[in-house]
Structure 1
């Protein structure tokens, strides 16, 4: 019956040189034990010559410190992500139980806070081609796990009501919220009971990457609703009454429903999605626990003398170029598409962008600041390059990171202090002409985005040069979309 109502993109591997050429042609949305980077007996061997007989005791100590620091930062960042997701869950449960404007605002604030540490973890994502197969490990790779956490953009029509003008892949009037059974392609899905297990089962149903039913962005949609402002100011404005459970008060946007069952289901969806997020982050945090076995951490430690350094630098380059500069920023920038903005419902994209970039910088500096203000790490790629006689490469890369930080600081300041969000920055002059914004002003706004793309491209070239300095001649990081 129908209730009454009126990421993980796959990239083609290519060399960074080829990727940069193609993309540049276009440019014109803890505890003390963790902080201590002292090498433990469980995680690293005593400093000695490696098996290939070419690594000195000092060089061995450097790689040991690098891998240990990286693993500690990963654990701290995922622990912060888990803790803030639990705070979000508490706020969601309060809001669903008592749907008031104050409780909705509190849930939105908790979402915003939860996104800060998680967005910094995405540098750890690009590990698919490195990790060792291990049937005893609960999670095969960060990259394989990430799709249930952070997939986007999502086809919101599959989940709940959308505006009449919405154009998406899924175009049925039946959705998870308003129906106890829906059909996606040739698949008929029972949706009568909304649970974390159902949402996990339905994620990317029918083989479509847009059919996202889980993770941060599904929660974001349920809190904010659609942003129908286009490239004008304003985020989604889902009314509190969408969660009202009193007869005659339950709405679906502008429409008042005959009964409250649809609002109850909406609350069930929001709680189920948040519970699944907490469950998934609990599993990932466990993968980086110190002294653990059969985990992503133990696997990295075991490979420290093999491909750990390549993995770390590959991940930095892949997030900088393929994912952030290309998929997350340039796609939206070139097309002027707000649907391709990373946080298109809440207009928090400026923070996601900046925290993605900060995550790369954390690995470079060997320093992650927890939500409580503690510093975890102690040794990064910067010091590793210096200690191995490549100060020039370290200094050049440090300058590249300063340019990236400066570019994203502008975007964050405009978004947080001046209310100019990414969806307004990516608009073309033609798109905003009816709003009284001059072409000159809009080109200035687009320039902020273009500077972020350019800085990331230059950073990736610097990462490639640093990789060559330490003997990695072909980093071959993901390059994202080619325009």
Structure 2
């Protein structure tokens, strides 16, 4: 600022000098530099960390219901365990929109969510003389632990298992499977809570994981895009193209469409910075700079959710009964992925350094 300014303008000087390095939106007075930091902080805490806290709570609830079921094996306790499993799936499937950091580095994802269940090996385990401790389960192949063997034991191959059909061996396996699920969920929750959330929130300002804020934002949008691609190109497409229901994600509980829907809902949770507590999200930066892009992202999201909701029978049946609806769901999710990859990512590359 030149000294030639008139004295009457000097009242402006303190305001200008408060944060000379920060950029402000001229129309709304928003400090964009601060906003970017707030977005990363809120996503790291309110979305990622909170989701793993919630998932651990639900894992413990599942373990409690399984303990009740194996102690008093009746249909009421079986129903409670099934409900707890589904509740935990909601959180896990949404969190697949941020599959980076500890959940990726520590291979948590494949260890708790590999499908389809390997029936042959599972039956071999049940028929063996091995003591099915949690440690034993932890060393099994990925397809023999986690959500889906638990699902199989709770529902049975046709989804109509009764409490009276449980064997002692199945109870032993089920108990250790849930203990292992709690252990792995505890691990990812603790790693996020005890430091990785700071890595994300301090991107470009001391983080050893993210040298720049742009690195962090691109990681977020890549994770959002990746889960859309997985749902459209793998979870939906592979069973559909092969007309093989055995390849679907949650066939025994008939929960696959709910799983897919929660995957896509997780993308919007990341975008808006809201899992349980509402905070700043990528949405806030987009709305500030490109309102039409925000509108397009939300429109594509709504179309994807609506397309999944239009499938009126379990996915395994819809493969042959409602192929047009499945194709439409794949198309709408692909369109959502395209706007994330083709428009949101370039926007963030331009706006965040």
Instruction: Please state which band the TM-score falls in when normalised by the shorter chain.
Output: 0.7 to 0.9
Aligned mate of 2:221, from 313, 317, 338: 313
Q: Superposed, which structure 2 residues align to 1:48-87 within 5 Å?
A: 48=21, 58-72=31-45, 73-87=47-61
Which SS does the other structure have where 1:347 is aligned?
Answer: coil
Q: Which consecutive segments of 4 or more residues in structure 1 shift more than 6 A?
A: none
Deviation for aligned residue 1:59: 3.2
Task: Indicate yes or no: 2:293 matched with 1:393.
Answer: yes
In structure 2, distance between residues paired with 1:272 and 1:356: 27
Distance 1:288 1:143 in 2: 12
Are residues 472 and 332 of structure 1, via their aligned partners in 2, closer, same or farther at CA, if it must alter by over 3 Å?
Answer: farther
Distance of 1:143 and 1:424 partners within structure 2: 35
Whether 1:221 and 2:152 are equivalent positions in the alignment is yes
Give, in whole Å, the separation in 2 of the partners of 1:81 and 1:47. Answer: 42
Residues 383, 394 of structure 1: 8 Å contact kept? no
* Pairing partner for 2:164 from 241, 247, 250: 241
Structure 1 length-normalised TM? 0.62
Distance 1:96 1:140, change over 3 A: closer
Is 1:287 matched with 2:191?
Answer: yes
Which among 83, 103, 125 is matched to residue 109 of structure 1?
83
Kindly provide the CA deviation profile for residues 304-348 of structure 1, in whole angstroms up to 9, marking residues without a partner as x.
525101000000110001x11111011111111111111011111
- Is the alpha carbon distance of 1:383 and 1:47 closer, same or farther for their aligned partners in structure 2, counting shifts above 3 Å? farther
Deviations 1:79-102 (A, max 9, x none): 111111111111111111111122
Q: Tell me what 2:302 maps to.
A: 402
Match of 2:333 in 1: 456
Query: What is the alpha-carbon distance in structure 2 between the residues aligned to residue 92 and residue 108 of structure 1?
Result: 9
Q: For the residues of structure 2 that align with 1:273 and 1:313, how far apart are their CA atoms?
A: 33
CA RMSD of aligned residues (A): 2.2
- Look up the match of 1:146: 109
**CA displacement, residues 410-430 of structure 1 (integer Å, 9 cap, x when unaligned):** 23xx3xxxxx21111112xxx
The residue number in structure 2 matching 1:381 is 282
Q: Number of residue pairs matched?
A: 317
SS at match of 1:238: coil
Post-superposition offset of 1:391: 2.1
Query: Aligned to 2:319, which of 420, 426, 435?
Result: 426
What displacement does 1:49 show?
5.7
> Residue 335 of structure 1 is aligned with which of 242, 254, 269?
242
Cα offset, 1:48, TM superposition? 4.6
Q: Partners in 1 of 2:282 and 2:81 — Cα distance?
A: 37
Judge conservation of contact 1:200–1:213 (CA < 8 Å) in 2.
Answer: no
Structure 1's unaligned 5+ residue stretches are 1-45, 51-56, 132-138, 161-174, 181-191, 205-211, 228-235, 244-262, 370-375, 415-419, 428-441, 474-483
Match of 1:350 in 2: 257
Q: How has the CA–CA distance of structure 1 residues 468 and 143 changed in structure 2, closer, same or farther, with 3 Å as cutoff?
A: farther
Alpha-carbon displacement from aligned partner over 1:271-320 (angstroms, at most 9, x marks no partner) = 0000111111111112222xx33xx3222232252510100000011000
* Maintained 8 Å contact 1:222/1:270: yes
3-state SS of the aligned residue for 1:217? Answer: helix
- Within 5 A, what are the aligned runs for 1:159-238? 159-160=122-123, 175-180=124-129, 192-204=130-142, 212-227=143-158, 236-238=159-161
Give me the whole-angstrom Cα distance separating, in 1, the residues matched to 2:323 and 2:58: 33
Q: What stretches of structure 2 of length at least 5 have no aligned partner?
A: 1-18, 24-29, 202-206
Choose which of 164, 171, 175 in structure 2 pairs with 1:271.
175
- 1:101 and 1:178 mapped to 2: Cα distance? 25
* 1:75 Cα deviation after fit: 1.5
- Report the secondary structure of 2:127's partner residue: coil
Contact 1:47 1:60 in 2 (8 A): no
Per-residue deviation, 1:241: 3.0
Q: Residue 97 of structure 2 aligns with which residue?
A: 123
* Aligned counterparts of 2:326 and 2:280: Cα–Cα separation in 1: 31
Q: In the aligned structure 1, how far is the partner of 2:316 from the partner of 2:122?
A: 23
> Aligned pair in 2 of structure 1 residues 313, 270: CA closer, same or farther (>3 Å)?
same
How far apart in 2 are the matches of 1:405 and 1:367? Answer: 17
